[in-house]
Copies of this chain bind each other. A is one copy, B any other.
Amino acid sequence: MKEPNAPRRKTGRPLSFDRDAALEKAMLAFWESGYETTSISDLTAAMGVTAPSIYAAFGDKKQLFLEALRRYAGDPADLEEAFAKAPTARDAVIRMIEGAARLYTGEATPKGCLLASAAATGSKAATDVRNAATQERRVIRAIMIRRIEIDIEAGLLAPGTKPMVLADMALAVTQGMSVLARDGADQNALLAVAHAAMNGWPGPSAGDATDG
């Protein structure tokens, strides 16, 4: 029940580390090695903070991961806004997948997708952590579905189009690209995959990378 943005205390010794920077380092460690397979010892090394300070600042390992996931998995409001501004659902999804392709192969972060890989599997003790990742994916899926429904109502997509199928397909490609990135695929390969998959999305194509 502790506030994420805790009110600054009025007395006492000040924090000797940057909480946000430490959280980001923790997130990168989880991204690289997964939730359960990143130890507290790994985290103290990555964050430059001793174990008691981690527990004082973030609660426990689970809360630390969940806060990192919420903070860096992407703000649903931002995604919703991008989807609302896009001319079509197809365009919005292409940009989303392209962004994923770049993120998964970027130099600033580990390969692949934090959301896809950090809690892909695990013990029963970490069930709620996996459920949190599932929930993040459900939010992304719901945003896609709503945007597709808008296009159907606007006549931009055929009346019989199934929003859930298209959203699931986009989500599968996106999460699957994380595996490719971890296997060593480069940015161009992932962008080509993104475009090839979007050929299966009804509506005009802005380009086709599989031939020519």
Q: Is the CB of B165 within 8 A of A171?
A: no
Cβ contacts under 8 Å, A185 to chain B:
168
Determine whether A32 belongs to the interface, using a CB cutoff of 8 Å to chain B.
Answer: yes
Residue in contact with A122 in the complex, picked from B34, B175, B183, B212, CB distance below 8 Å: B34
Q: Is the CB of B165 within 8 A of A134?
A: no
Residue in contact with A168 in the complex, picked from B112, B160, B180, CB distance below 8 Å: B180
Residue in contact with A173 in the complex, picked from B162, B172, B192, CB distance below 8 Å: B172
Determine whether A28 belongs to the interface, using a CB cutoff of 8 Å to chain B.
Answer: no
State the interface size on chain A (CB cutoff 8 A).
59
Give how many copies assemble into the complex.
2
Q: Is the CB of B166 within 8 A of A171?
A: no
Q: Is the CB of A123 within 8 A of B37?
A: yes
Distance between A165 CB and nearest chain B CB, rounded to angstroms: 4
Residue in contact with A197 in the complex, picked from B38, B200, B210, CB distance below 8 Å: B200
Determine whether A61 belongs to the interface, using a CB cutoff of 8 Å to chain B.
Answer: no
Q: Is the CB of A176 within 8 A of B165?
A: no
- Which of A117, A123, A200 has the most chain B CB atoms inside 10 A of its CB? A200
Cβ contacts under 8 Å, A154 to chain B:
none
